[in-house]
Structure 1
Amino acid sequence: MSDVSAPKFLGQSTALPASPAEAQLDYVANPRPGVLYLVRFAAPEFTSLCPVTAQPDFAHLVIDYAPAATIVESKSLKLFLGSFRNHQAFHEDCTVGIGQRLFSEMQPLWLRIGGYWYPRGGIPIDVFWQSGAPPADLWLPEQGVAPYRGRG
């Protein structure tokens, strides 16, 4: 279970963690326990590095989750996502790893992540992961990121 305490980073000047492994995520008590609702984070400027060439890769991430006992504090999530800036990993590893870490630590009712990666070598890659079937009656809007179409 995630550690629910006062947020460590909120209101503080905080340096970007050197790596995702060093990044700490803060979780706070769900302000609406027992209510089924969806939280969405969009990170349209996510960056990481190719593990082969060390060239930058860019993605638009969309993270949706239905909270249980806790919610993730947004500044700590921003720092966690920013820690990938100098991290070398394949698109699949970044996307699925982010989703699995949030699900493991926060233990929401349900979580999904869509990683919409911009083309490298002429091929865009989209990566999707979810923790299981969404809860019944959860309003689940489309993630709203169109497939890559290029200039035309």
Structure 2
Amino acid sequence: MNENSTLSLLGHEAAPAANPEAATLERVTNPHAGTQYVTRFTVPEFTSICPVTGQPDFAHLVIDYIPGDWLVESKSLKLFLTSFRNHGAFHEDCTVYIAKRLVDLLQPAWLRIGGYWYPRGGIPIDVFWQTGNAPEGAWVPDQGVPPYRGRG
């Protein structure tokens, strides 16, 4: 049976889960397994909720990974990320949780995430995590997000 035929979200009406733990992340077979290449997802409008104040938090996420046998199915990734919209967690928890869920699902050769969070209380918080060094010879472009500068 084709692994891709078991997708439950792609091609079906689906709403985001109530929280990230309940969200379904799906994978598809990598048609170029054994070829070293980087896949990037840029999420410029990520939102979550501060677990203390209940106020919204906003981030620009950049997820880079070198696939192994699996690719993340992008609709499931979008719905997973949307499930954070009403989820209370600190910036560090959101960023690292997303990366670890992807690593558990995909078992990639390498993955990194940059969480570029907009200021809260006047302080921007950037969170970076990766599985280790990128494999030798991998072309991994800069994430292209400038450090927060404000108006000065």
TM-score band, normalised by the shorter chain?
over 0.9
Q: Is 2:43 aligned against 1:43? A: yes
Q: How does 1:3-152 map to 2 (within 5 A)?
A: 4-6=3-5, 7-152=7-152
- SS of the equivalent of 2:71 reads strand
Equivalent-residue separation in structure 1 for 2:113 and 2:8 (angstroms):
25
Deviation at 1:104? 1.4
Structure 1 moving runs of 4+ over 3 Å: none
Residue identity opposite 1:146 in structure 2: P
Deviation at 1:11? 1.5
Q: Percent identity?
A: 65
For the aligned residue pairs, the C-alpha RMSD in angstroms reads 0.8
Equivalent-residue separation in structure 2 for 1:20 and 1:28 (angstroms):
20
Deviation at 1:5? 3.8
Deviation at 1:140? 0.5
Q: TM-score, normalised by structure 1?
A: 0.96
Residue identity opposite 2:111 in structure 1: L
Gapped runs of 5+ residues in structure 1?
none
Q: TM-score, normalised by structure 2?
A: 0.96
User: Size of the alignment, in residue pairs?
Assistant: 149
